Amino acid sequence: MKKIVLTAAAILGMATAYAQNAAIQTAKNYLRENDYDNAVKYINQALDDPSTKDKPKTHFAKGDIYMQMFLDTAYKTDPPAKRLQAYKDAGEAYLKVIELDADYEREDINAKLASIATVYYNEAVTRYKTSSYQDAYNLFSKVGQIDALEGGKRTKEIVKIFPPYSEVVVNSKEMKGYSAMSLNKYDEALAAFKELKNAGKASPTLYISMSDAYDKLAKRDEQLAIIQEGRKAYPDDANLRNEEINFYIATDRTSELTSKLEEAVAADPNNADLHHTLANIYNNMANPKSGNKPANAAELTAKAEASYQKAITAKPDNAEYNFNFSVLYYMQAYDVVQEMNKLGETPEEMKKYKALTAEKDALFTKALPFAEKAYDLLDGRADKLTGKEKEVYISVLGELMELYGKMNKSEQYAKIKAKKEAYK
């Protein structure tokens, strides 16, 4: 029988390899006992050794150690940053496993990545809510890094075992965009929003956010294109319609939009939505965000009044139409008050003050029935309101408080004040 000869070098090599493999196993043994200090000590030995530092099982063991540290209730009292760092270390370890061998413990890795991405997302949302936008952006990006693995193949596999993961991915992309917007990283925001849109997750809010990003970058052609795309996809969305209106106003192209709407109204005179949109445009033109009213503000206000009246005639039970009509009168009253505040105490000025007071009161009187109608249309189902109707209801409560207060209707004021304070 042929003898097998082992050289001293070979024996030493086997001994070293055994020692480092033993280090991995020792780390796992300490992990079973929740002895994290020793588990980390021995896994670091394996990570420092050239013979095991690039083995997937080494990094897999490291990931398990740090994940269990995060999940251990004994560590719940640790500072959040320290606990999150443990999860980050776990996530980086599992990603390293995939880099070394994409199929190593694949199903187990997928389950753990789903958990890690969810923690990243929840922590990112917390950071966003506390205005820590850079931290939020970085954490949302971590979710994106996991989602991008193998061209999205991993994500599809993870969703099969954990369906809510798809929501984590989608929401992370959206929130990454909002975080970027808050950091004035408008190109990065657009990249996140485009990725979301291309994934079939478009929404009116997304189109408005993209419009805002293009606006910040002064890319007017792209801004108009995305607004028009959104309007085509969601023709009845009021916020997108207003975004388009505001774009034309901001770019001094209101005549173009007004002209189109006037033609549409002429062709479809009973379309309440068109009349309402046109009224909003006239109103916005008369009261620009800059506060600098145009010379023909009175003419535009009269046109807005006529258009609101036509919209309400066609749809008398539309709360939003009634509310906006009341706001038109309220804003006129506000302008009168501003004029009154500029007057002095000379006999002539006091005479003018008295006349303006009557004008103001008349405008409040005009506004009130439309605000009350909007309130009556919504109040009976206030607890079920969502979206735009809820926004209108909250705004109506605020306006009615103002009107009742200024018109010395104390009983009605108290009732609406209580409603507003109780409403959530």
Q: Extract the tokens encoding 185.
A: 């990283």
Closest CA to 113 of 156, 154, 167: 154
At residue 121, the pLDDT reads: 93
Closest CA to 174 of 199, 146, 148: 199
What's the mean pLDDT in 408-412? 95
- Residue matched to tokens 């010395």: 408
Burial of 381 (0-12, 13-18, 19+ CB in 10 A): exposed
What's the mean pLDDT in 235-239? 81
Closest CA to 182 of 218, 137, 122, 239: 137
Q: Domain boundaries in the chain?
A: 253-316, 317-424
- Residue matched to tokens 């620009």: 288
Rounded to 10°, the helix 80-100/56-71 angle is: 160
What's the mean pLDDT in 39-49? 92
Given a cut of 50, whether residue 6 has pLDDT beyond it is no
Given a cut of 90, whether residue 390 has pLDDT beyond it is yes
The letter for the amino acid at 340 is M
Given a cut of 70, whether residue 17 has pLDDT beyond it is no
The letter for the amino acid at 383 is D
101 Rama class: left (phi>0) / alpha (psi -120 to 50) / beta: beta
At residue 77, the pLDDT reads: 61
pTM for this prediction: 0.61
Rounded to 10°, the helix 319-341/387-406 angle is: 40
The letter for the amino acid at 244 is E
At residue 105, the pLDDT reads: 92
- Residue matched to tokens 């929840």: 122
Q: Which one-letter DSSP state was computed for residue 381?
A: T
CA triple 74-69-114, angle to 5 deg: 125
Given a cut of 60, whether residue 342 has pLDDT beyond it is yes
Residues 6+ apart with CB under 8 A from 289: none
At residue 251, the pLDDT reads: 86
Q: How far is CA 388 from the centre of its chain?
A: 16
Q: Extract the tokens encoding 403.
A: 């009107």
Instruction: Please report, rounded to a whole number, the percentage of residues in the chain having pLDDT higher than 90.
Output: 69
Mean per-residue pLDDT over the chain, rounded: 89
At residue 5, the pLDDT reads: 40
pLDDT class of 78 with cuts at 50, 70, 90: low
Let me know how many helices (H) and strands (E) the chain has, helices first. Answer: 19, 0
What's the mean pLDDT in 305-324? 96
Q: Tell me which of 14-23, 149-158, 321-330 is least confident.
A: 14-23
Each residue's pLDDT tens digit, 257-311: 888 888 888 888 998 998 998 999 899 888 887 778 889 999 999 999 999 999 9
At residue 75, the pLDDT reads: 64
At residue 76, the pLDDT reads: 59
At residue 82, the pLDDT reads: 75
Given a cut of 50, whether residue 13 has pLDDT beyond it is no
pLDDT class of 359 with cuts at 50, 70, 90: very high
Each residue's pLDDT tens digit, 119-175: 899 999 999 999 999 999 999 999 999 999 999 999 999 999 999 999 999 999 999
Q: Extract the tokens encoding 33.
A: 């006992």
pLDDT class of 190 with cuts at 50, 70, 90: very high
* Rg (alpha carbons) of the chain, rounded to whole number: 32
Closest CA to 89 of 105, 108, 110, 66: 66
